[in-house]
Structure 1
């Protein structure tokens, strides 16, 4: 995705773009780039800065005379440019008014949450059409070629408008998409935010550094939205980026932009940046054999599990619900003293020494080693037999993680990191430092979403001391939605397990 366009919404057969229209070709177009940027000296200086090696963090600035504009190049972690005061401000205000009259659609999945128009490639409204024709025409495409050194295709452009409201975001991804003989070459963002938009309002374009394997790590540079400016960068395997969440205090203020990509011919394999290696198997939790205890099941169950769930009648009802829905939630699952004692062990000091799971295009959360008697019981053969009584399935292996999701944490669905099918058993945990009687608000994020073919099947909102059982078969995927700033100091903690059926592991 460029900055925030939803690829799935626009099938390839709708991608054919019009060439420059007759009026534009005849020179009657009134829209034009700030003439200072077309100056030969500016183009030369910007090109030199944009194409220099990016082995260190460098910000180049090139000011136009009389404060009429400024060009900026961030050379690391990957080359990114910004031009201020690019178009007539009056035109952009009128464009924004025109965009408000369109139909807007809320887009939300594991990767993003924002609002967007339909594809604007064939929209006939005056200002939209004028902007599209100019951006895809000779003057602007030729200008972009000159300042970036990249060959581009005329008359072929992706274009859509976005509005990011409070908490909206677009998480770590690259824009490496090929379409036939053409591929995305340059992503661009034209900012239509309020003229007083500042860093504290959020929505910055974050640029990720990468490790030795080419995986994204942390945001190393930011481009803050500014009205009447354009940001752009070369797409590819190294261009991991994000739209950081919008944190405006006033819910009526939104981050507006028009975004898309310029296309160009596919290059030789040798000339293209090398793709990162496939993700290692360690990206997923390790599958472990079930632990055996000497004690009888009944004794173990009574020690740890709320006695309500040990009743044969209750178990029969739970089993009926599970067989019908393939999922069930068991509230107040652990005995009260067991739950409170375990919560007390999850101290800030413990999490301060925990590991952060990644890389950023797969997940971001904290994990601490699964130690202690409770964790051992939950991955035992005895507990698996308890689950068998509820689900009528037998289990042979299990994965287990103790996790904490704070503001800015999430998991993403990645084709190279697909979990094995099985019974997801997630024990949600509150915190001794939090007010557990305040219900979790789904607008904060942090819920677990189950999807199949992009349709949401189930959404589980965290509830303290609640065990969620979900049978996840082939084609069903899950993710934890990005936890946004509206959660304030609240965090989501859990013990996440997946039990593998005996037959499936043979």
Structure 2
């Protein structure tokens, strides 16, 4: 990323900071300890240094400032605002209408944009954070040019199992761009690493794709995390794991904006691009002769059953065939697909697209089953069930475990066609609400279909243009 001209830190912003009891419940101001040159100057020096190699902490009075050096510079300030103000703010937020947000990337509850909210503590926070003192402070410690009076602000509550998967926050709006992402934590004061919800920071490979989480920032009441947004600022809110379901990860988050300049507008030809290999290769079906009776439940080979399946598919565009494989075949395949089978399977990435294990079918029966599913014999059965003449296909053997998922990505869109998914899970009572892991079909913002993992089940879905699918994150305690 190109170098930027940094602004010199301001020497002291305390001159008009009130002291003592004149602070009312509605008064909000940065902790004076953070506004001294003894804090802002060394923090600025560390945060803007290209040679910073280790996490650095700067103490100032009853506050601290920490700069995480790797994988990208991230700041954390503690004891930021008056405690009584944040507690009153949280009570005010509880009175708002909250919306459940859930898609391929996230699952949490959120308020509307707080930009025009007139409740007193919310308005006081917004006005202060968008004003000269706070914006000037952020400029002084980060060296970035920021815009006054323009601030995104919303509150979130992450319940147990809620999360926000890998993304980079890099967004431009006309002449302005997101420059700094921030999180003000309103969690209870007993929150710990065991409760989850940490801010996870991803490293990047030579192609600027995210790799794995290299650093975790644990939520702490009255602390603020922040980092410069950009093409390598991949991060996540890790799964909340609180056992007491009444506890939630509260926060107020948003972005500071700054002018779009050539230095922060990368050449489109140099943006990170996913390789074509992230999608399974499409190939001709094989001529291997396979006996359907060897593999398939005989009920699905009866003409009257096939007619009913075809009618259902034409009406609904999807159908699930339970107990699809012969029971003896399923049991033997399941035995081969034990944990040992997956011990050498690679984790597929990058995590802004997918996380799951993918293996080659190497054991005898699994290899034969994979061959059967690529054969013209199986295609002939599918023609009876769908009326489609199939000549090509792609195939991948996947295992999804805790923390695995797929995301919709505009550089990895699957071709339209017939989705054929054979679910081989051993769990007979899968609960998508408790564990996730369902396959979701969406068009625009609407969910059209959700298919839960099921034991020995074949799902057929006719996916038209504009319909996308993803596998939801697997979470929970199971």
For 1:395, what is the secondary structure of its paired residue? coil
Q: Which residue of 1 aligns with 2:385?
A: 390
Q: CA deviation at 1:417?
A: 0.4
Say if 1:286 and 1:462 are closer, same or farther in 2 by CA, change over 3 A: same
For 1:465, what is the secondary structure of its paired residue? strand
Residue-by-residue CA offset, 1:156-177 (whole Å, 9 max, x unaligned): 0000000000100000000110
Q: C-alpha distance in 2, partners of 1:172/1:216?
A: 8
Aligned 1:444-463 pairs, distance under 5 A: 444-463=435-454
Q: Which residue of 1 aligns with 2:203?
A: 209
Say if 1:270 and 1:410 are closer, same or farther in 2 by CA, change over 3 A: closer
Q: C-alpha distance in 1, partners of 2:232/2:177?
A: 15
For 1:263, what is the secondary structure of its paired residue? strand
CA contact (8 A) 2:432 2:438 kept: no
Q: C-alpha distance in 2, partners of 1:46/1:308?
A: 71
Q: Which residue of 2 aligns with 1:366?
A: 357
CA contact (8 A) 1:54 1:76 kept: no
In structure 1, list runs of 5 or more residues that go unmatched: 1-26, 489-506
Q: Which residue of 1 aligns with 2:30?
A: 33
CA contact (8 A) 1:408 1:485 kept: no
Instruction: Please report the TM-score for the alignment, with normalisation by the length of structure 1.
Output: 0.87
Residue-by-residue CA offset, 1:389-426 (whole Å, 9 max, x unaligned): 01011111111111111100000000000001110000
Aligned 1:236-255 pairs, distance under 5 A: 236-255=230-249
Q: C-alpha distance in 1, partners of 2:133/2:396?
A: 55
Q: C-alpha distance in 1, partners of 2:267/2:250?
A: 32
Residue-by-residue CA offset, 1:370-404 (whole Å, 9 max, x unaligned): 34111100111110110010101111111111111
For 2:147, what is the secondary structure of its paired residue? coil
For 1:72, what is the secondary structure of its paired residue? strand
For 1:323, what is the secondary structure of its paired residue? helix
Q: Which residue of 1 aligns with 2:149?
A: 155
Aligned 1:78-477 pairs, distance under 5 A: 78-269=72-263, 276-294=271-289, 300-371=291-362, 372-431=367-426, 436-477=427-468
Q: C-alpha distance in 2, partners of 1:273/1:44?
A: 33
* Residue 49 (1) aligns with residue 46 (2): yes
Q: C-alpha distance in 2, partners of 1:373/1:249?
A: 44
Q: CA deviation at 1:273?
A: 9.3
Residue-by-residue CA offset, 1:286-340 (whole Å, 9 max, x unaligned): 1121011245xxxx11110000001110100000000111110000000011111
Say if 1:55 and 1:210 are closer, same or farther in 2 by CA, change over 3 A: farther
CA contact (8 A) 1:141 1:152 kept: yes
Say if 1:272 and 1:137 are closer, same or farther in 2 by CA, change over 3 A: farther
CA contact (8 A) 2:160 2:240 kept: yes
Residue-by-residue CA offset, 1:335-368 (whole Å, 9 max, x unaligned): 0111111111112222110011110100000000
CA contact (8 A) 2:63 2:78 kept: yes
Q: C-alpha distance in 2, partners of 1:194/1:52?
A: 34
For 1:158, what is the secondary structure of its paired residue? coil
CA contact (8 A) 1:354 1:368 kept: yes
CA contact (8 A) 1:292 1:380 kept: yes
In structure 2, list runs of 5 or more residues that go unmatched: 1-22
Q: Which residue of 1 aligns with 2:18?
A: none
Q: C-alpha distance in 2, partners of 1:211/1:485?
A: 30
Count of matched residue positions in the alignment of Structure 1 and Structure 2: 450
CA contact (8 A) 2:289 2:377 kept: no
For 1:319, what is the secondary structure of its paired residue? helix
For 2:395, what is the secondary structure of its paired residue? strand
Q: C-alpha distance in 2, partners of 1:450/1:476?
A: 7
Say if 1:388 and 1:54 are closer, same or farther in 2 by CA, change over 3 A: farther
For 1:400, what is the secondary structure of its paired residue? coil
Say if 1:270 and 1:243 are closer, same or farther in 2 by CA, change over 3 A: closer
Residue-by-residue CA offset, 1:227-249 (whole Å, 9 max, x unaligned): 00000000010100000010000
Q: CA deviation at 1:64?
A: 1.3
Q: Which residue of 2 aligns with 1:9?
A: none
For 2:114, what is the secondary structure of its paired residue? coil
Q: C-alpha distance in 2, partners of 1:48/1:97?
A: 37
Q: CA deviation at 1:441?
A: 4.0
- Segment of structure 1 superposing worse, 469-478 or 262-271: 262-271
Say if 1:118 and 1:64 are closer, same or farther in 2 by CA, change over 3 A: same
Instruction: Please report the TM-score for the alignment, with normalisation by the length of structure 2.
Output: 0.92
Q: C-alpha distance in 1, partners of 2:149/2:396?
A: 51
Q: CA deviation at 1:455?
A: 0.3
Q: C-alpha distance in 2, partners of 1:437/1:415?
A: 34
CA contact (8 A) 1:237 1:273 kept: no
* Residue 60 (1) aligns with residue 56 (2): yes
